[in-house]
């Protein structure tokens, strides 16, 4: 198995699979309603819904970077606002984060290991490799999974 395939497997497990650490993002999101997803039990903290949109935004950014784009997210792109808090909109948000994530996993699985040491396109002075970024996106998903798990319990 290639190193990129191993990273893709970890990315998949963090999001929707049997992860060593415990529940994956989608296991934690199971049973979360639109009303629960928009609740803000901690003043000034992000909601579950905002965190889900944030995960989708960064999965998309990493996917575009793998394609060669120099992607920097604006504040509005980093944490997109929830403009429709309906049950249907929540289901669409969950479907979208899953769709983007699955595209990212597929792209990482197909990535030649030779690209892992390449520097990620970005602002002048970019200093990290695809290898570093891809491990970072796994960590990013798990970090926010922990936040979502706590918010779900509140």
Give CA–CA dist 141/52, Å, rounded. 10
Choosing among 1.10.10.10, 3.40.630.10, 1.20.120.450, 3.40.50.970, the CATH entry for 3-153 is 1.20.120.450
Q: How many angstroms from the chain centroid is the CA of residue 66? A: 15
Sequence-distant (6+) residues with CB within 8 A of 116 are 3, 4, 129, 130, 131, 134
Domain locations in the chain as residue ranges: 3-153
**How do residues 2-22 score in pLDDT, each as one tens digit?**
999 999 999 999 988 787 788
Span 41-55, mean pLDDT? 95
Residue 52: per-residue pLDDT: 97
Q: What confidence tens digit (pLDDT) does each residue in 99-122 have?
A: 999 999 999 999 999 999 999 987
Task: Enter the pTM of the model.
Answer: 0.92
What was the pLDDT predicted at 143?
A: 94
CA distance 148 to 46: 9
């Amino acid at each position: 198995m290639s190193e990129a395939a191993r990273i893709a497997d970890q990315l998949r497990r963090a999001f929707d699979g049997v992860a060593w650490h415990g529940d994956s993002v989608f296991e934690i999101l199971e049973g979360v309603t639109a009303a629960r997803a928009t609740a803000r039990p901690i003043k000034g903290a992000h909601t579950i819904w905002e965190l889900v949109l944030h995960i989708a935004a960064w999965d998309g950014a990493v996917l575009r970077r793998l394609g060669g784009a120099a992607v920097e997210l604006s504040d509005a792109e980093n944490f997109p606002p929830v403009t429709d808090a309906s049950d249907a909109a929540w289901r669409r948000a969950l479907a979208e984060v899953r769709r983007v994530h699955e595209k990212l996993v597929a792209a990482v699985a197909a990535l030649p290991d030779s690209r892992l040491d390449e520097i990620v396109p970005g602002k002048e002075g970019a200093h990290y490799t695809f290898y570093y970024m891809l491990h970072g996106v796994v960590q990013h998903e798990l970090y926010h999974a922990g936040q979502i798990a706590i918010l779900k319990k509140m």
